[in-house]
A and B are shown apart, each in its own frame.
Chain A
Amino acid sequence: MNAILSLVKSDYIKLLALKRTLLLFGLASLVFSVMSVRFTAGVIIGVYALVLTVISYDQASAVHHFYCALPVNRSQIYNARYLFGFSLLLLLSTAMGFVAWLSSFFTPPAFSAGGLMINICIGIAAGVLYLSLMLPLNLCLGTQKARLFNIILYIAFFIVGVNHSDFLLKIALFLSRLPFLLVLLPVLLLLFLFYFLGLTIYNKKEFKEES
């Protein structure tokens, strides 16, 4: 199996091993999915808790000893973490969207069909933005050194997600009227800028005990 896919697989196995975290935050996200104004917050809770939990536990168990034993280089480790984060974001958003759609058969729907799609898109966009900031920070600095940034990032994204979903919807509606590339380009630029900056630093990172 490709080394990056093997690393992603090992991250998912770790998540299964941390079943209490997976259950608690997975369920919390699904509960948020049926509340129209809190859909984005649910995505952020899930992504924050699940991705950061795996990174934190890795650091606590000095995972660099495990990496040293494997036929992988630092770029592959870094890329695998991105793939893990973004695949989890997609899975979570899809599951949340499915639960929101399913719940509409039993309770008065929180979304119109179009509203649900917009919420999923906002959730994914917020998740991408959150991950593109959170992943390089935590991979390069380690979760201990990055903890202050983590708290600030989480609070900022969570508060916006919970309290200002109408505001986000207005932004989304405004953006939907702009040419697609004009919206996509700045987000992609930010994502790639942080990605390459983080990759350059991570490639030079030595695996010491606090890594």
Chain B
Amino acid sequence: MTTAITIRGLEKSLGNFHLSIPSLDIPEGYVTGFIGENGAGKTTTIKLMMNGLFADAGKISLLGADSRQKNQSFKQEIAYVGDRSGFLAQATLNQLQAMYRSFFTRWDQERFQKLAGHFDLNLKKPFKNLSSGQQKIFSLCLALAHHPRLLLMDEPTANLDPLIRQEFLHILRQELEQEGITIFFSSHITSDLDKIADYVFFIHKGKPMMDLAAKDQLMDDHRLVKGDSRSLTAACRSLLLNIQDNGFGFTGLTADFPAFRALAGDGFAYDLPTLEDVFINYIRGERE
């Protein structure tokens, strides 16, 4: 499997915050969700990838090119949708696309018009008159109009209403099917990644919580276990993360469902977790 993003020994300090990612390989042609709470280091990692910040140590490669190299022309094949666009608010959408397109040799005006038309974007409107959802959609239209191989997005669906969010995810799915692009997508809204991600990478307080995992495998391995606390043996407890006892019984997450079931049998209820369940239980488990 070829990799779109490679990280080795990445270290970065910003005030009291320290980011440390020893190793990460993001496969090409898939959607990878980058999950973490606010302040976990998602934006810092993406800014390091896009050469906005400089690493204290380590190396990041994007599509085989060193992200720090002087010649940044490899970004012709990369699109970035940040948490902020950086666009001049007073400029019209037509003016912004005129600015943007002249940098990209593979700019496809027809494709841009089609995407903008799909979302009913009025290109004569100033950027500041768009809702925050429309602004994100416009950024996505620009990003996709130069046929990128890799799309990096930082919290793209934050502040979007559910309808626009669905449309946004629909376009991403289409891109994946038609163009086969790699999508690296940071978010703390895990329900979006439940729908679209092939791989997930969890980050917490600047450190990876686990290795990059295939989402389906992760879901197969994990189960939310519920039942009577009195039936829970010490061996079973050792296979559970974040056991929450209440008056009606307990809830916990197991990361090794087959082993737990073999040990505990069918005396408990086993629910398929969401990515949010996995993420929250790991964080709470770590705190305990």
Contacts and interface: CB of A to CB of B under 8 A. Distances in A.
A9 interface: yes
Given A69-B143, A71-B73, A207-B47, A63 B86 contact: yes
Given A61-B89, A64-B52, A206-B53, A10 B102 contact: yes
B102 A61 contact: no
Contact of B52 (A13, A75, A206): A206
Given A14-B91, A208-B53, A67 B104 contact: no
B103 A66 contact: no
Interface stretch (B75-83, B187-195, B210-218, B227-235): B75-83
Contacts of B72: 70-73
A57 B75 contact: no
A65 B90 contact: no
Contact of B90 (A57, A68, A208): A57
Contacts of B126: 17
A62 B86 CA distance: 5
A52 B250 CA distance: 63
A17 B81 CA distance: 22
B89 to A, nearest CB: 6
Given A66-B85, A68-B47, A69-B143, A16 B52 contact: no
B158 interface: no
A69 B82 contact: yes
Given A6-B102, A10-B99, A68 B52 contact: yes
Contacts of A67: 52, 86
Interface of B: 47, 50-54, 70-76, 79-92, 95, 98-100, 102-104, 126, 143
**When A and B form their complex, which 9 residue pairs have the shortest distance between CB atoms, in order from nearest?**
A66-B86, A65-B86, A17-B91, A10-B99, A71-B75, A207-B52, A68-B50, A69-B80, A6-B102
